[in-house]
Amino acid sequence: MSAKRTSIHGQWSSRWAFILAATGSAVGLGNIWRFPYMAGESGGGAFLLLYVVCVLIMGIPIMMAEILIGRRGRQSPVNTMRIIAEEEGYTRQWKWLGIMGVVAGFLIVSYYSVIAGWVLAYVFRAATGSFEGGDPEAIAQMFSDLISDPERLLAWHTIFIMMTVAVVSRGVKSGLEMAVRFLMPALFFLLLVMVGYAMSTERFAEGIMFMLRPDFTAMKENFREVFLNASGHAFFSLSLGMGAIMIYGSYLSDRTSITSAAVLIASADTLIAILASFAIFPLVFTYGLEPAQGPGLIFVTLPIAFGQMPGGVFFGTLFFLLLTFAAWTSAISLIEPAVTWLVENGGISRIKATAYTGLVAWILGIATILSFNHWAFPFTFAGVSKENGIFDIIDILTANIMLPLGGLAIAIFSGWLMSRASTMDELKVKENIYVSWRFVIKFLAPVGVTIIFLNQIGIL
Ligand code: PHE
């Protein structure tokens, strides 16, 4: 057993601070922007069903593993993987798992920030009453005008990266903890308001059924695509496989129960995604929009609702503002692993480390900006046709390949390489819970992810 370490980067002030911060990382554009559009492209209910199965057999157990490894190592994911591997008697090359996570974080944040920029733009549109009247065509046009203008996208992307850098440079406790405490409950409340509005629309039942009834016949045809999207999205949405949850675990007190925290975080994350789809699909059907329209989905459906509901300027502004905050608390966790690594190994201050990280993310983001206009090109990958070139490539590469691969490595590491004594020392659960976790992390989760892979590269 190792002596307990402390993190040089700080510690959460309470168990709730960790749960809220990790939920803040998990709940983001993934739940409200990506989940509904992926579900829309992948047949609704079938997607939801596979998604929930993936959260249960891979998401929660791998989240527990990431938290426990993080808390044991108490350093950046790169150094944590290195020292825990050495401690358990294996090669220090496991640090490469941490490095892959840092790279995935850069890639994700580069496009995440561009989409968060769209959300920021929509805060202003909502506030200035641009959706008034809610004419679906005008609103769709407004969206395509935005994404076809690289200069405007660059301006919003720059602002969002600066916001993220500002928070991360201030460290673990200041700001972030306080922010998530209020923002997460507020976002939840507003989603309920949106679902309430959706209930008043004509085709509410159709929208709900679209999500609740898995269409097995349609699923047969494109099962592979639905399965790959749902499993990749489970990793993306729970922030797994790249060290975000690991670094948050490294700031966690030794007394907190990892199991109940992981269950709580995963449940909140899934609930919010489901509520978002309940708010969106009834509008899609009521206004005759296309469920499979891709990344623009919420930017076209929700403004129609805001343009028509009483108090729409108020609710619309608040909604996009809260979505900005949700994206913000996720973006922070995307760069935190890179920043802590730079501080530990580069011998530079947190402020400098954050600035460098932000700069790299900003430059990479330009490729995504151009993917929606000058560089847009259609292509087919694993049988799925896409049209936004580099954006889609980064999205598939990270969510469908790098994060599941990272998750697989974490499952193998904690299930097969770490000793029973050290994992039990962190989890501190009853024997039967431990045995179930160990079984899932050793067998079910790795087999699940391997199947995803073989599918992804076209072998299965
Ligand atoms: N989970 C975040 C979301 O759903 C995105 C994210 C992925 C954050 C990976 C951190 C790590 O929006």
Average pLDDT over the chain, rounded to an integer? 91
What letter represents residue 318's amino acid?
Answer: L
Question: Closest ligand 1 atom, CA of 33?
Answer: 12
Domain count, the chain: 1
Nearest-angstrom CA–CA distance, 38 and 248: 27
Lowest-pLDDT choice from 56-70, 220-234, 321-335: 220-234
Please count the CA atoms within 13 angstroms of the CA of 43 that sit on its side-chain side: 22
Q: How confident is the model at residue 1 (pLDDT cuts 50, 70, 90)?
A: very low
101 lines ligand 1 (CB under 6 A): no
The helix or strand, by DSSP H or E, that contains position 420, with its residue range, turns out to be: helix 420-427
Place of tokens 């390949």: 401
31 lines ligand 1 (CB under 6 A): yes
Output the CA 237–ligand 1 centroid distance in Å.
5
Output the CA 61–ligand 1 centroid distance in Å.
17
108 lines ligand 1 (CB under 6 A): yes
Q: Atom 11, ligand 1: which residue's CA is nearest?
A: 239
Q: How do residues 149-188 score in pLDDT, each as one tens digit?
A: 999 999 999 999 999 999 899 876 765 676 677 778 888 8
Q: How do residues 384-413 score in pLDDT, each as one tens digit?
A: 677 778 899 999 899 888 999 999 999 999
Mark residue 143 as left, alpha or beta (left: phi above 0; alpha: psi -120 to 50; beta: remaining): alpha
Rounded to the nearest 5 degrees, what angle is found at the Cα of 301, between the Cα atoms of 369 and 123? 60
**Max avg pLDDT among 90-99, 183-192, 216-225, 274-283:** 90-99
- Is the per-residue pLDDT at 337 higher than 90? yes
242 lines ligand 1 (CB under 6 A): yes
Task: Write out the residue range of the structural domain in which residue 236 sits.
Answer: 2-456
Output the CA 173–ligand 1 centroid distance in Å.
20
329 lines ligand 1 (CB under 6 A): no
CATH of the domain at 384: 1.20.1740
| pLDDT number for residue 33 | 93
Output the CA 287–ligand 1 centroid distance in Å.
30
Q: How confident is the model at residue 292 (pLDDT cuts 50, 70, 90)?
A: confident
Two structure tokens written together for 311: 């108090």
Output the CA 308–ligand 1 centroid distance in Å.
31
Give mean pLDDT, residues 35-64: 93
